[in-house]
Amino acid sequence: MLGKVRLAAYLLLVFSASAWAYSETWKDKSFISKAFVQVALRNEYNAGKYPLVKWTQPVKMWVQHDVPDKALHDELVDLHIQHLALVTHHPIYRVSNRDEANVTWIFTKEAKWDNEVATHIGKSSLGVLNNAICIANYTTDIDTHEIIKAVIIIPVDKAHERGKLLACIVEEITQALGLPNDSQQAYPSIFNDETPEELLSPLDVILLSMLYDKRLKTGMKEKEVKNVIQSILKEYEQQGVLNNAVTLSKSAPLYQLIGY
């Protein structure tokens, strides 16, 4: 395991300490509902409305390292997916054999990025790379709308150059769970570029918890989703889930490591 002192020092270099000095949007049921629709039922690269998608099978990740700092990258990945599993109550874990995995995660360098994307995602995705620092893509079952596999590709040198390595690790796998869109209507959130923090916000943990609530089914359209999340949010409010969102957010091992 990477030394905690070294990892904490890295995180302190890249992480903002503003600690969500914003209005508490994660307590506003109407705001959460609108944010969920924008993040879950829209797509970053294609206009239109989409059905709800998520994993129903365990998420099993295999990580390929084509660049140095394997220990650092492994530690960041492991700590973040621990938090995702806690928030979603869905099995998310690493596997040592690529054949067992349904998520392929590649740490590469910018010189090889185009080739990796063309090989693992498809040449049609090359057009979005000029405006991207890293990329994730998932495939869904055409009938059930369940996510069945995903690929995450991070050109580490490019991400480091932009100060976005941690952001790439956190955002890409989180989006690959079924929240594919960036939106100005989600704030504070990793799905909004205006948010300075790079780890899951209180709003993010609510969105993820809702997505993996068993009452939300894959394939649901917007009208159905809105009706269901209205019930979920009413329950969350009554049970104190919304008030507890900050605690759940800061339970992330990465937060705890740097003392937030």
The pLDDT assigned to 22 comes to 61
252, burial (CB in 10 Å: exposed 0-12, middle 13-18, buried 19+): buried
The pLDDT assigned to 244 comes to 97
> What is the value of pTM for the model shown?
0.91
**Residue 257: Cβ within 10 Å count:** 17
The domain defined by 55-177 carries CATH number 3.40.390.10: yes
Q: Are strands 103-108 and 59-65 parallel, antiparallel or unpaired?
A: parallel
Beta carbons within 8 Å of 157's beta carbon, 6+ residues apart: 67, 109, 110
Angle between helix 202-211 and 29-40 (nearest 10): 70
Among 2-6, 58-62, 108-112, where is mean pLDDT lowest?
A: 2-6
End-to-end CA distance of the chain: 21
Which helix (H) or strand (E) is 64 found in, with range? Answer: strand 59-65
15 has a pLDDT exceeding 80 = no
113 has a pLDDT exceeding 80 = yes
Closest CA to 33 of 215, 228, 258, 179: 228
Beta carbons within 8 Å of 88's beta carbon, 6+ residues apart: 177, 208, 209, 211, 212
Locate the domains of the chain by residue range.
25-51+185-260, 55-177
d(CA 122, CA 137): 10
Q: What is the mean pLDDT of residues 14-41?
A: 83
